[in-house]
Amino acid sequence: FNPTPPLGRGCSSLPPLAAALPAHGQRLPSSDRRRPLRLVSPFACSQAGVSRSVAVVTAYLMKSQGLGWEEAYAAVRAAKPDAEVNPGFQRQLKLYEAMGCAVDSSSALYKQHRLQVLTERFSELQDLPQEVFAVDPTNAHQTPNTEVLYRCRKCRRALFRSSSILSHVEGSGPTAFAHKRITESMHLRGSGPDKCTSYFIEPVQWMEPALLGVTEGQLLCPKCTSKLGSFSWWGEQCSCGHWVTPAFQIHKSRVDEARTLSVANFHTTKT
């Protein structure tokens, strides 16, 4: 590694950055809560040297120094005032922080981000990338004991696992539907212990034929064709009031939970 490589256009080397960052044992001047930074000399290149390379160096500081993304970004900008990470990279840095500065493709946060990025590019896509689809449970040999399997209530066909559920922040209930006519049933539904009457999940392989070439539609059981829910790449509102984008919604009333017990591989179904 050459600590002083020749710089081309768009390169953010950053011996200058390293020189401007606090040395070992010193703290960042704007907050006495930040951890001391070691002297580092990362070298990163991008087309303009103000966004992509800055995002990489920010992520490096987050990982190596245990900083939050805002702290790390502030440190980089203090040394390189023209640094300007674009909104897309900022979202990824926030995601990186939320995942504990590790890339975990099995994380619900990662799956949600990947689907949101796909939604932004949906009009350009000819086919959907296979990596966005969860494995069809009927194609798997065994469901791990730690997971719940969800089956069609009518025909018992396995549909998805608990690891495919993408949780969301609970909305404000009936007040979120103030623009609509709020019926008594909506009030009762929104005031119960479980405000969310549907599961929002990642796409599963059996959904692929229904998703190709359309932006919204129904989700039908691939075996008995009973209606399970709906999907929309532009999003749908949960019964709790939270808006989910994109949305692959399975109504809880249309599925049963099948839990595997460790004793003699006995299966029990929650209805």
Range of the domain at 65: 11-98
Please indicate, yes or no, whether residues 229 and 142 belong to a single structural domain of this protein.
Answer: yes
Same domain, 134 and 93: no
Residues 71 and 142 in one domain: no
Q: How far apart are CA 18 and CA 270, in angstroms?
A: 58
Q: Across-strand partners of 204? A: 134
In whole angstroms, give the CA distance from residue 72 to residue 133. Answer: 34
pLDDT grade for 144, boundaries at 50, 70 and 90: low
The H-or-E segment that residue 164 falls in is none
Q: What is the pLDDT of residues 95-124, one digit of tens each?
A: 889 889 888 888 888 888 888 888 877 766
Please say which residue of 42, 77, 98 terminates a domain: 98
Question: Cα–Cα distance between 46 and 53 in angstroms, integer?
Answer: 5
**Among 98, 114, 143, which residue terminates a domain?**
98
- Provide the pairing of β-strand 148-152 with 158-161: antiparallel
Q: Is residue 5 part of a domain?
A: no
User: Which phi and psi angles does 268 have, rounded to 5°?
Assistant: -130, 145
Of the pLDDT bands very low, low, confident and very high (cuts 50, 70, 90), residue 88 is: confident
Mean pLDDT across 145-154: 90
Is 238:250 a contact under the CB 8 Å cutoff? no
- Asked if residue 65 and residue 140 are part of one domain, the reply reads no
Domain assignment of residue 136, yes or no:
yes
Give the count of domains, the chain.
2
Final residue of a structural domain among 98, 120, 140: 98
> Does 2 map to a domain?
no
Ordered alpha helix ranges (H), the chain: 14-20, 52-65, 69-79, 87-98, 108-120, 184-191, 208-211
> Do both 234 and 158 map to the same domain?
yes
Q: Which domain CATH number covers 74?
A: 3.90.190.10
Asked if pLDDT for residue 170 goes beyond 90, the answer is no
Q: 186 and 90 share a domain?
A: no
Do both 87 and 140 map to the same domain?
no
Other beta carbons less than 10 A from residue 38's beta carbon: 14
For residue 71, pLDDT over 60 is answered with yes
- 36 SS3 class: coil
Check residue 119 and give its pLDDT. 81
pTM score of the predicted model: 0.65
